[in-house]
Amino acid sequence: MERTLSIIKPDAVAKNVIGEIYTRFERAGLKIVAARMKHLSREEAEGFYAVHRERPFFKDLVAFMMSGPVMVQVLEGEDAIARNRELMGATDPQQAAPGTIRADFATSIDANAVHGSDGADTAKEEIAFFFGDDEIYSR
């Protein structure tokens, strides 16, 4: 069993597709074992994306992530990290395979509907950024 951190970004929350995205997780065998709706502060958005601090898109990314509430969840299942990345599709929605979350719901590389951890170490860090052990309801 593996866990990954998923964020439904402000664009997808505003489009009212939280449920549609959750259904995709569930149909792929990923269990939602923790969840919280949250409007990120600048400090939180910058802290979460700190690895990208030097990238040219950092400022726009942070501004976008603060632009409205997000839905943050921990997904649990076999190969959860890779499985979630398959469901999401490529970072740039223009490159995302048909039927993926980003192909269906994203509009640009910033407003790209979802975030998912990219590896085991980042998954651990990202989960701990938002949830304490006592807030994760693994069954």
- Which parts are annotated binding residues for ATP? 9, 57, 85, 91, 102, 112
Interface of this chain with ligand CMP, residues 7 to 46, rule: CB under 6 A: none
Instruction: Please list the residues that pair with 72 across neighbouring strands.
Output: 7, 36
* Sequence letter at residue 103: A
Contact (CB, 8 A) for 35 and 112: no
Check 3, 24, 83, 115 and give the catalytic one.
115
Question: How many residues of this chain bind ligand CMP (CB under 6 A)?
Answer: 8
Interface of this chain with ligand CMP, residues 56 to 115, rule: CB under 6 A: 57, 61, 91, 109-110, 112, 115
- How far apart are alpha carbons 24 and 9 in whole angstroms? 16
Nearest CB to ligand CMP, comparing residues 28 and 137:
28
96 phi and psi angles, rounded to 5 deg: -75, 135
* Residues labelled as active-site residues: 115
Q: Footprint of ligand CMP on this chain (CB under 6 A)?
A: 52, 57, 61, 91, 109-110, 112, 115
